[in-house]
Structure 1
Amino acid sequence: MTSPRIVHVATSAPYDVTVGENLLQDVASAVPESAMRVLVVTAAPLRRHVDNLKALLDSRGLTVVIAEVPDAEEGKSAEVLAFCWGVLGKSDFTRSDVVIGFGGGAVTDLAGFVAATWLRGVGVIQVPTTLLAMVDAAVGGKTGINTAEGKNLVGAFHEPLSVWCDVRALDTLPRHDLVAGLAEVVKCGFIRDPEILTIVGENLTMLRGEGREGSLDDATRAVLVELITRAIQVKADVVSADLKESYLREILNYGHTFAHAIEYTERYQWRHGAAVSVGMVFVAELAHLAGKLTEEEVDRHRTILAGLGLPTTYPGHRWDALLTAMRRDKKTRGDLLRFVILNGLQNPVRLEGPDPAILQGAYAAVSA
């Protein structure tokens, strides 16, 4: 078993992210002594694990309420949010009580927003159970829900009390979901930590997991702990300097403008990581056409992502729909589209109002 790794997030309300194995007892111990009640927001597939956590919390004398919500993006709606508020109200939750988000990125986004909005803010502990949630959604204080008009358009910044990333939770994660989560890890390699790209490149077969049956082996867990810790460190460094996305934090959205447009166009039927993979290739092509990246650097995007089994293309003839969706992106200012691109590897910059011709050229490159 690998030793726990701790990443400190030095924001105005600092907290630690722990990456390791068999952390459930630690999660129970992390609930502040001042709390009397705990709301665990989770999805049905995780109920057995949540029952184990409830037993540990019960042993501390805490009143535990479980809010079971729809899995994945279906849970990030105003209706589900209102359901959680109702549970809190009926259970007499006060400002000293705590919410725990136990699940994938959609659950941690929802739980964080529930905590941010109840009594104008109560404590939240995040227990991400997917790779995507561990390296992205659960760290950094972003919370939110979706609307009919787009993803994460309603939300708040609300930092957790602590985050617990137990790689044993990945044992039962479907292979395609594990691979999709690696897209966010690779993103951190391109924007800040090149060692991530080296580690991924040296372990493509292991990380793809084709033919894997049952639990992850010790070697794979060790590689994942290293990659998860490195990716979280990248995010921690960025959000510590810029919590509320005034400028620097936007680099974490590398590939996301196009990715969110794909998700919206596909009515959220694409995995987020799969969309981010195509989105990174799109902005790499955009950077190449803008004279910022070489062909070899663009090819490195495709080689690593395709080597993991992630998509690098998207069907053609959908440009108008994608362009409309991108104009809703949070980085857009008025009618001015803004993208995070690379001016050489590990050097993210902004590209504002790109020529429509190079936008269509980048799209042609990913739809070929």
Structure 2
Amino acid sequence: MTTVNVDLANRSYTIEIASGLLRRHNLFSDTVGKRRVAVISNSTVAPLYLNQLLNSLGQSGIATESLVLPDGEQYKNQTTLETIYDFLFEKKFDRKSMLIALGGGVIGDLVGYAAATFMRGIPFIQIPTTLLAQVDSSVGGKTGINHARGKNLIGAFHQPAVVITDIETLNTLPKREYLAGLAEVIKYGLIGDTEFFDWYEHNLTGILNRDAQLLEHLIARCCQNKASIVSADETESGVRAYLNFGHTFGHAIELGLGYGHWLHGEAVAAGMCLAAIASERMGLINSTARAAVERVIAATGLPTEAPVLGVDRYIDLMSLDKKVERGEVKFILLKEIGEAVSMPVPSEILRAILK
């Protein structure tokens, strides 16, 4: 088992990565203690792993209740959040209780936000079951829901007590979801880890075949990269913004097409290509670096071209981005492969790229 530490003083925690962790009931005893636990999952993941998890918790003598929500980005909203609250009140959970998020990024964000706000805050455990959640959304304490005007516009920073990453859950992940998760993997190499970017391209065949040994290294390296950034900038006042490379364009794609039409990772992949083009047009990188971004994304099986939404529509959607400061969108761009920078893109360049 590989352990990655997230150092945040009294909010520090570990990420445990290995195959078969859901069967190891002893992993939960120290973290949960005598708390009552509500396990919250979705209609896709629950039939596969909920009983296994409940059995492990039961073997440790942990009292549990479970709630299964509908699956999909379109359910990451206030209505579903109220469903979680209603369940917790109905089952008489209190400030000494704990939540467990069993699922992908949507479940992790929803359950994390419910934990951050229920009774003014209770602890929770992340058990991510998608690659995207394992390498990105389960780490760092960002929780929240979508709003009709934009993605993740309502939320809170609330760190998990522990992250349990069972690599075996990737065996049941559909190919499209798996590939979408690799977009966030590529991102880590591009914004701050050239060596990892090269390793990823060199080992891509095995990664696409879901080689367990490669995946343990891949997930751990991504988590180490994110943990170091989060430890330095927990609430995204500086370098943590670099983790949004490709996301300003990507979130516009998701919202513009309607949540669920493109997966988050697919939209981010196309968004990274647009950000690489912007970086080249701004004179930050050369055509060779821009082509390398496109080459690796294409070889992964992810889109390199964004959908046509119209220039004004893109700009309107991006104006709702969380990185807007005083009406100006700050984009994450590349100075080179392995080094990111935050800056605005002049309107004429942005319009030319989108056109």
TM-score by length of 2: 0.95
2:246 maps to which of 251, 255, 270: 255
Pair 290,96 (structure 1): closer, same or farther in 2 beyond 3 Å: same
Q: Does residue 89 of structure 2 align to residue 89 of structure 1?
A: yes
Q: Distance in 1 between matches of 2:164 and 2:30?
A: 10
1:41 is paired with a residue of what secondary structure? strand
Distance 2:111 2:132 in 1: 16
- Output the amino acid matched with 1:115: A
1:6 aligns with 2:8: no
Task: Tell me the distance in 1 between the aligned counterparts of 2:186 and 2:177.
Answer: 15
Take 1:351 and 1:188, find their aligned partners in 2: how far apart are those partners?
Answer: 19
The aligned amino acid for 1:143 is T
Map of 1:331 onto structure 2: 323
Match of 1:227 in 2: 218
Which ranges in structure 1 are unaligned for 5 or more consecutive residues?
210-215
Query: How has the CA–CA distance of structure 1 residues 165 and 337 changed in structure 2, closer, same or farther, with 3 Å as cutoff?
Result: same
Q: Report the secondary structure of 2:81's partner residue.
A: helix
Q: Is the 8 A contact 1:95 1:119 kept in 2?
A: yes
Query: Is the contact made by 2:310 and 2:354 (CA closer than 8 Å) also made in structure 1?
Result: no
2:96/2:122 contact within 8 Å kept: yes
SS state at 1:56 partner = helix
**Counterpart of 1:106?**
106
Q: Which of 292, 308, 313 lines up with 2:305 in the alignment?
A: 313
Deviation, structure 1 residue 30 = 4.8
Partner of 1:145: 145
Cα distance between partner residues in 1 of 2:339 and 2:60: 48
Q: Which amino acid aligns with 2:273?
A: V
CA distance in 2, matches of 1:360, 1:319: 6
Matches within 5 A, 1:1-368: 4-12=1-9, 13-24=11-22, 25=24, 26-35=26-35, 37-48=36-47, 49-209=49-209, 216=210, 220-268=211-259, 269-316=261-308, 318-352=310-344, 354-364=345-355
Amino acid of the structure 1 residue aligned with 2:39? V
Q: What are the superposed Cα offsets for residues 79-113 of structure 1, whole Å, 9 maximum, x if unpaired? A: 11111111111122122211000001000001100
Q: Identify unmatched segments of 5+ residues in structure 2.
A: none
CA deviation digits over 1:235-277, x for unaligned, max 9?
Answer: 0000001110111110110110000000000111111111111
User: Residues 130-168 of structure 1: CA distance to partner in whole angstroms, max 9, x if unpaired?
Assistant: 000011111000000111111111100000000011110
| Match of residue 212 from structure 1 | none
Distance 1:27 1:320, change over 3 A: farther
Aligned residue type for 2:252: A
Identical-pair percentage? 37
How many residues are paired up? 350
Q: What letter corresponds to residue 244 of structure 1 in structure 2?
A: T
SS of residue matched to 1:343: strand
Q: In structure 1, the residue corresponding to 2:324 is in which secondary structure?
A: coil
Distance 1:129 1:317 in 2: 32
CA deviation vs aligned residue, 1:40-87 (integer Å, no higher than 9, x gap): 110122224111211222233332111111112133111111111111
CA distance in 2 between counterparts of 1:30 and 1:278 reads 42
CA distance in 2, matches of 1:158, 1:317: 34
CA contact (8 A) 1:263 1:275 kept: yes
Deviation at 1:361, TM superposition (A): 2.7
